[in-house]
Amino acid sequence: MSQPPNELLDAKQLHQALDTLANDIAQRWKQEASLVLVGIHRRGVPLAESLAGRLRAAGLGIDLGTIDITQYRDDLSGFSVLPRLIGSEIPCDIDGRVVILCDEVVHTGRTVRAALEELLGFGRPRCVEVAAVVERPQRELPIETRYAAMRVDLPARQRVTVHFAATDGYDEVLIEPASASPAS
């Protein structure tokens, strides 16, 4: 019998965490003319959009894009149904720019690796950093999360799921059994 999910952050706490993430980014890059935030499909996109709104309110120039990593995944053979290809869209030049890749959870580093491969097809940024709501240890690749609202060490049999109102109708962060939701 499986256990019910455990709530890590409720809606109010998630909003506060996003405020902190945006503030950390704004403080680091306050002298930069503009930043490019790129959300990794699926839930990295609402994270990037949420951070973009906060950063614009803080007076930073923000360009926004999305990355679809489907073509660069190294685990496609493990899917019974292949993920749908959504496509990437970065409507600005990223050459020489600061790019912040946004994903809701960074764990092994494989999603970020795939996103970097796709991103470099759009140009050569001056700097790429990673922002996440939740960072988990157990990296399989040398990927660093520069901005994380929280760090959570869980057994492999558990996963962290972030829900955003934009995609799910509500905001929260949960710990669930690994089999409770599909791979992202």
Task: Look up tokens 């001056």; give the residue.
Answer: 126
Quote the percentage of the chain above a pLDDT of 70. Answer: 87
How distant, in Å, are the alpha carbons of 166, 170, 174 from that of 10? 15, 10, 9
∠ Cα 145 117 37 (to 5°): 50
Taken in order of first residue, the domains within the chain and their CATH numbers are 6-26+33-71+86-180 (3.40.50.2020)
What is the DSSP code (8-state) at residue 138? -
Give the pLDDT band of residue 85 (cuts 50, 70, 90).
low
Average pLDDT value over all residues in the chain: 90
CB 103 within 8 A of CB 112: yes
Asked whether residue 19 carries a pLDDT value surpassing 80, the answer given is: yes
Asked whether residue 73 carries a pLDDT value surpassing 70, the answer given is: no
How far is Cα 105 from Cα 8, in angstroms, rounded to an integer?
Answer: 13
Q: What is the pTM of this model?
A: 0.89
How distant, in Å, are the alpha carbons of 44, 52, 63, 66 from that of 120? 18, 21, 17, 13
Give the pLDDT band of residue 90 (cuts 50, 70, 90).
very high
How distant, in Å, are the alpha carbons of 11, 51, 83, 92 from that of 19? 12, 8, 31, 25
